Amino acid sequence: MIAVDYLGLRPCSPGLRLGHVPTPIRPAVKGTRQISLTFQGMIEPNNAALTIERVNGLAPDAASLKAGQGLASARKWQSLGCDERAVWGECQGSGSSPYQTEIDLSEPAFKCTCPSRKFPCKHSLGLMILFVNCRPDFEAATPPEWVNEWLTRRDDQAARKKAKAEDPPVSEVDEATRAKREKTKAKRAEEREARVAAGLAELDLWLRDLVRQGLANVQSRGPRLWNDIAARMIDAQAPGIARRLAEMPEVVASGEGWAGRLLSELGKLYLLLEGFKRIASLPEDAQADMRNAIGWTLKEDELLAQEGLRDDWVVLGQRVYDEERLRVRRTWLSGIASSRSAMVLDFSFQGQNSFASGLMPGTVFDGELVFYPSADPSRAIVKARHSEPRNFSEPAGFGRVDELLESYSAALSRKPWIETYAAPLAQVVPVLVQSKFYLRDCVGGLAWIRPRFGRRWQMTAISGGHPIFVFGEWDGASLLPLSVVADRRFVQLEGA
């Protein structure tokens, strides 16, 4: 195999087969990922966490970003000010009074008096872009009253949330009321179990019919084949399975080898159906993984009552996508001391970016995370933050692609329904092989870049033929890059 890269032709090792998951060579340790990454010396203790790339990633859509860029001029603002925590300004709009725009830099968080239903609005984006590009235009001053009131409310809300997590309120109800509530809760749970079981039985028959007929005509039947059965799973209260089915058209359209990849995904679905039939006999962690894959959720209040893992958490990458009527943001973190990988999910209404966690890729913060129960814990929530975000540089990752595959294989042995896996790759070069893009490591190992990734040439230009750090999401066959670090510069490739 010959790899064509920015500098010319170089031979690649034939020993690595794309999409192949080798037998794990390291023992699987329950509750931990087989990742050993060193981040020592990578934190830059400064307050310059905001960059143009990060501001762009906060925009709810391209139109809002363009409008915000048009407001990134001091001439557009009647007043501008800042202190160590906040940035504020007044922008004349169509009304008689100027719009008051304020930003809390500690997350960041936004507030504006304009009537826009997008979040952040164009005024917030414009103020942030102006602050990043022209900080001398902002007078260091004491925040005005309208800014202080907003910051005080935010501090009060944070204090109440912290107090609730540390000392959950005890509901004072009589035994009869408590028993009635428990009975109602149990009845709802039984009804959902029955609806899910009926839906999965129908899906079982559908899968058998599909495989019996063969996959030859799947491409010609189009997305409706999958959307119809996905809608049935929504009715059966199994949204996790519905999402997996709705993503099947992307697998079908993934090019050469699609049939094998599709059969693999269908096999995971069938394994889930069979496992649910005997879920009561499985270990608790396996039950939690299975219920999560089907679509059951766990209330955050229950998690916040548990002890978390405190560490310096590096925000490596972020992806935002629409799901039904919601906008979902998936943020990947890595603990410096613990070497734990974590994924934080946030939700907001479509057309908004009002996510609760306020995590910015390319930063690091001292915080406490609580992980959801799982045989291979990855999803987590932020219980508390003990510092403002800071910049980082020179992250570490897997030195070779086969190390990523080994780690992924070990994780699969604990949780077969992993949809996406954290993939930090150090010292890799984007290459073009037979019209397909890959990341090549130092020994010639290749990781196929997902065809839907639209910034292949930008990533190649950033590399310039030299090794760079790439963080992405691995799905077992291909990698979706989310960010790169080259010459100590962090660049977000996906996110908004």
For the stretch 130-156, pLDDT in tens is 999 998 889 889 999 999 999 999 999
Mean pLDDT of 263-292: 94
Whether pLDDT at 183 is above 90? no
Same domain, 461 and 484: yes
The dihedrals phi and psi of 329, each to the nearest 5 degrees, come to -120, 125
Same domain, 426 and 350: no
Same domain, 424 and 382: no
Same domain, 236 and 318: no
| 156-160, 167-171, 367-371, 377-381: range with lowest mean pLDDT | 167-171
Same domain, 337 and 400: no
Mean pLDDT of 205-218: 93
- DSSP for 88-125, please give it: EEEE--SSSSPEEEEEETTTTEEEE-S---SBS-HHHH
Helix axes 284-294, 239-246, angle to 10 degrees: 60
Same domain, 374 and 413: no
Same domain, 433 and 385: no
Q: How many angstroms separate the CA atoms of 67 and 99, rounded? A: 15
Same domain, 387 and 441: no
Quote the radius of gyration of the chain (alpha carbons, Å). Answer: 24
Same domain, 211 and 269: yes
Where a domain ends, among 391, 425, 447?
Answer: 391
| 132 within domain boundaries | yes
List the domain range (segments joined by +) for residue 66.
52-166
User: What is the number of domains present in the chain?
Assistant: 4
Global pTM value: 0.75
- Max CA pair span of the chain: 77
Where a domain ends, among 335, 363, 391?
Answer: 391
Q: How many angstroms separate the CA atoms of 31 and 286, rounded? A: 12
Same domain, 306 and 357: yes
Same domain, 75 and 148: yes
Query: Which pLDDT belongs to residue 322?
Result: 78
| 173 within domain boundaries | no
Same domain, 150 and 86: yes
